[in-house]
A and B are shown apart, each in its own frame.
Chain A
Amino acid sequence: MADLTQSDGVLSATTSRQRPRIKLRHIADHAILMAGALLMVFPVVLVLMTTSFSDADIAKHGLQLGFEGNMLENFEAAMFEASGFTKTITGTRMLMNSMILGLGFAIGKIVISMMAAYAIVYFRLRFATFAFWIIFTTLLLPLEVRILPSYEAIQSLGLANTYTGLIVPLIASATGTFFFRQFFRSIPEELVEAARIDGAGPVKFFIDILVPLSRTMIAAIFIIMFVYGWNQYLWPTLITTDEGLFTLVRGIKQIVQVLSQTGAMIPEYGKALALSLIAMIPPVLIVIFFQSWFVKGLTESDK
């Protein structure tokens, strides 16, 4: 007992001696974090501010601090004014296409990979391991590496300039399957045994028990996949030449080309910047509002 009090005393003495130093270090910690946060936030804030200036101002001075009155106008132009080569595509249309790509990809991927993972984990299937390796190998090659042949495949299937051609090839990788496989394996064995004793067959078990149990996981992977789909660039660039199918991110390429043209006209800087912001907003909001799911999905899927 005497020993305990003594060591207590030593501990508290050390902490009190260190206290002033710790406070100073606290300030340094916060300063570094604030600098980091500023580094992340400032560029986008600056762009947002600049959208309140007129095209002529931006052309002359570039990105600017402060607020002028043109923001609404610029965003309105970005959303509703037709642009592009054929003057048919509006921001709203691109937003819709981005939504279709993001949602279609996320939902398609979740459905397909959950089914596959269920088959691999919960069935006594002779070729389950083989199937797993066939699927798993796809993790090895990102789409960027096999872009040309994938493009050829889509062309010969007549799927260029279709939503199917846009979405389905992106699903051809195992990230989701791998993720759900890991998760299913972590579910206690006894649960499926209890369900079997309770008379649940494979379909019932999947719908009554596995899917409800996976809700958080589904939400987490949905966020990751939605952002991934929404942010696709190379594939949409190749596969959609019809402007009616352009997504916001795909539209960036167009914007860059328009701004790069050196003509007599002042490029529509305000509109372009507004469009780039619109391209960020939905995925950014999802990531911020569903932060804990998002972090869980990212760190637990390990990819």
Chain B
Amino acid sequence: MKRAGFTTVWLPVALLLPQLMIIAIFFYWPAAWAVQSSFYLQDPFGFGSTFVGVENYTDLMTNSEYGKVARFTLIYTVLVTFFSLALALLLAVKADKVIRGAKSYRTLLMWVYAIAPPVAGFLGLMFFDQRNGPLTEMFQFFGWEFRLGADFNSTATAMVIVAVWKQIPVNFIFFLSGLQSIPKAVREAALIDNRSATGRFWDVTFPLLAPTAFFLLIINITYALFDTFGIVDTLVRSEPGNNPVTLVYKVFVDGFRGNDLGGSSAQSVILMILVLVLTVFQFRLIERRIHYT
């Protein structure tokens, strides 16, 4: 709030009203509804529901299928986050160094940001096509019977590759802007203190970049968990079957295909808690980030 804020009362209320109404109807109501229905068992034919307490949750915990999906989601998230961050960091460090063509590199490395995840997934379908996809052929050349959509590991690999490809630009942009905000004097001081470029990177540049990296870590985890829905859906051709899927995808499948409202809601609530934890974590990091600079 500004020191000398306006004192009118009706105007700010009117200004806030649209936003508050929208989030009440499309955020708080649905969220409350999800929490509530996670404690109920829905009749499959839509005739009422019975209160079952935490049964939906205990079912999930003991369900081996859910455990499998959770495990895959974890591995998938770790791989996507690691590779997209590592590759983007490498490219950003190089792009920050070169002078000639810096702008062109920047453009070429970030435009993929604008491609929708399912469109990226569709490109993946073509590249990993079972009969004549160029990447399938490459894997086969190395002796791997790559079969997208039929073999669990093949599909998982394709998902990770497409998700990483789609996420590199965001990380690249953040890393580059993080690098460029390191004061010139600090770089020059490091140049005088340390002869080795690698040493300078790990001793000076990387620690100064750490706040950005922490921040991106959360962004990437959220991305892998939620935003890759389109990639997953396209690569499994909307037919999960025996294919790997992520937790969010399972919420969708159980809720809309399986009509298991209670189970799907319980999964939603678990994800909500997960996001909540991540966000709190992120918030503390952002606070530290401010102190850092």
Give chain A's interface residues, CB within 8 Å of chain B: 25-26, 29-30, 32-33, 36-37, 39-41, 43-44, 46-47, 50, 60-63, 112-113, 115-116, 118-125, 128-129, 131, 134-135, 138-142, 144-153, 157, 168-169, 171-174, 177, 189, 192-193, 196, 201-203, 205, 227, 230-234, 238, 249, 252-253, 255-257, 259-260, 272-273, 276, 279-280, 283-284, 286-288, 291, 295, 298-299, 302-303
Contact = CB atoms under 8 A, between A and B. Distances in A.
Contacts of A260: 237
A119 B132 contact: no
Contacts of A256: 122, 125, 234, 237-238
Nearest to A190: B4
Contacts of A141: 27, 31, 272, 275
B64 to A, nearest CB: 23
Contacts of A276: 119, 122-123
A134 B34 contact: no
Main secondary structure of the interface of B (DSSP, over half): helix
Contacts, number: 299
Given A36-B109, A40-B109, A201 B6 contact: yes
B134 A128 contact: no
B45 to A, nearest CB: 17
A206 B279 CA distance: 32
B240 interface: no
Contact of B2 (A60, A122, A134, A149): A122
A44 to B, nearest CB: 7
A238 B133 CA distance: 30
B97 A253 contact: no
Interface in B221-244: 222, 226-227, 229-230, 233-234, 237-238
Given A146-B34, A295-B173, A43 B5 contact: no
B6 A123 contact: yes
B113 interface: yes
Contacts of B227: 142, 144
B141 to A, nearest CB: 15
A168 B114 CA distance: 22
A252 B119 contact: yes
A253 B132 contact: no
Given A62-B132, A131-B20, A172-B27, A148 B265 contact: yes
Contact of A145 (B7, B105, B117, B248): B248
B226 A144 contact: yes
25 contacts: A33-B91, A33-B105, A36-B87, A43-B127, A43-B165, A44-B123, A47-B126, A50-B126, A131-B16, A135-B20, A135-B23, A145-B226, A148-B34, A148-B268, A149-B268, A192-B5, A227-B114, A232-B116, A234-B229, A252-B121, A252-B230, A256-B237, A283-B114, A287-B111, A288-B111
